[in-house]
Chain A
Amino acid sequence: MLEVTDLRVRYGNVVAVAGVSLSVADGEIVAVIGPNGAGKTSTLRAISGLVRPSAGRISFNGTDITGWKAHRIVAMGLSHAPEGRRLFPQMTVLENLKMGAYLRGNGAALERTLQEVVARFPRLAERRRQRAGTLSGGEQQMLAIGRALMAEPRMLILDEPSFGLAPMVVTEIGRVIQAINRARKVAVLLVEQNARMALSISARTYVMETGTIVLEGPSASLRESPHVKAAYLGG
């Protein structure tokens, strides 16, 4: 579904991503873990067209999307719930969800998706008239995921969905990601600093450090890797 080959991203003279290759198959959950500043977010921003890669190739569903503008990539069926959520704080919850379906017009299909999304996140239904900026962190994250789902994507990119959330909420977010993946056959590329959660819900994991992939494999076996244990799971 997604094939990234030797991706490089630089900001001026600073190299953020130094040759990353990764892939996500249909219906698969793939995680990327690694410390702050490893280039995880830059990798995602290049995939969804927010930054132009300086080299490498990105293909989605067999189409070369390298260097495309973000809005064209969304139209291909790739939705990205970005780092920091990037909600529209002055808009209501409902307006934020409608923005997620921006490319889909205003038909009955949209209403059905809306019902599905609020059924998955009942809190969003309760707060539909409230401004997004006034929600709690967990609610904001649910809105960010719900907004991405409104586009009926074939693949979902999630950047640090657990950031700043209480452990119980993190577990809930993890469950929701698995449920979405199973119910809708949506492939998921999940970037996390919370390695425990990422390893427990994904099929495969890449470990990224200083701009490159240093380790990859089935999540179950990476959980036993001495390097992952020492660096990411607290020994």
Chain B
Amino acid sequence: MPIELLVQALLNGFALALVYVLVALGLTLIFSILGIINFAHGEFYMLGGYATYFGVAVFGLHYVPTLLLAIGAVGLAGVVAERLIFRHLRGKTLNAFIVSLGLLWVLQSGAQLTFGVLDKPVPSAFSGIIRAGRVIISVERFVVVLAAVGLIAVLYGFLQWSRVGRAMRAVAQDPDGAALQGVNIEFTSMLGFAVGCALAGAAGGLLAPVFAVSPPMGALPVVKAFIIIIVGGMGSLPGAVLGGLLLGTVEGIGSLFFSSAAVNVLGFLMVIAVLLVRPRGLFGAA
């Protein structure tokens, strides 16, 4: 096999997987801070997509400021969801499972009623391609990759070095211990939930020009995010990044041999393989 073909396949795989890592990071952040799995997480991705659609296609704003506004707007939507719903479900995994499934349907049906069922294309702000030998990547995909890597780096820096980020990690590791250091658990959880949603919104905004937006658009990325988290280990940020890179590799190389429908199965085969060897995922805690 020519090496260029392999590089091209990996590049294609990574470009999308890195965006799904953003979705996964939000999901796993919320899980570690609130102890719940938000099945409506993909709907925040969808909201990010629609916010971008409205900014660019309806109001004619430039893509970059629109994306930033969309991230902020979805973060605010996260604040509202946490205040109204998820704060009462802290640590109640089963209740949160049922309620978030309900929220998923409310948001998806709400989007159908409000925005219609048809796909809405979002014009791309970037045109042209970058060529290195026989390997080609569109400028649009390249920007998506840069933005995703940038956001992952910002999130890492925030959690690692900022006072609030450290408090989020403290709440995730020991809520009582954190409260005894003066951390306001409720406020920090709300912030964590908002950051998690904003990451999903960012992913939706980044892929909006690539795929167009539609009410059920959140379903696929959230499935990919679950694959990434299960492979990487629930609650682990480095695990999510590694899980994403593995998924990108498997899907990229898989696309050389299989149809795109079959490629979607590969991710699940990877989950089964990892869980057989390491039930907690690659980076999962005991």
Contact = CB atoms under 8 A, between A and B. Distances in A.
Interface in A37-72: 48-50, 69-71
Interface in A89-130: 89-91, 95, 98-100, 102-103, 105-106
Given A90-B169, A95-B166, A102-B163, A147 B174 contact: no
Contacts of B173: 88-91
A90 to B, nearest CB: 6
Size bin of chain A's contact surface? 20 to 34
Contact of A75 (B174, B182, B185): B182
A227 B174 CA distance: 38
B169 A103 contact: no
A91 B160 CA distance: 10
A48 B177 CA distance: 11
Contacts of A99: 166-167, 170, 178, 181, 183
Nearest to A95: B166
A152 to B, nearest CB: 12
Contacts of A106: 163
Q: Secondary structure at chain B's binding surface: helix, strand, loop or mixed?
A: helix
A75 B170 CA distance: 17
Contacts of B183: 71, 99, 102
Contacts of A69: 179, 184
A79 B179 CA distance: 11
Contacts of A48: 180
B239 to A, nearest CB: 13
A30 interface: no
Contacts of A74: 179-182
Interface residues of B, number: 17
A82 B180 CA distance: 8
B132 to A, nearest CB: 40
Contacts of B179: 49-50, 69-71, 74
Interface string B45-73: 00000000000000000000000000000
A88 B185 contact: no
Contact of B177 (A79, A87, A105, A151): A87
A7 to B, nearest CB: 19
A98 B161 CA distance: 11
Nearest to A81: B180
B176 interface: yes
Q: Closest 6 CB pairs between A and B?
A: A86-B177, A70-B179, A74-B182, A103-B182, A88-B173, A102-B181
Interface of B: 163, 166-167, 169-170, 173-174, 176-185
Interface of A: 48-50, 69-71, 74-75, 79-80, 82, 86-91, 95, 98-100, 102-103, 105-106, 147-148, 151
9 contacts: A49-B179, A69-B184, A74-B179, A79-B180, A90-B173, A91-B169, A100-B181, A102-B183, A147-B181
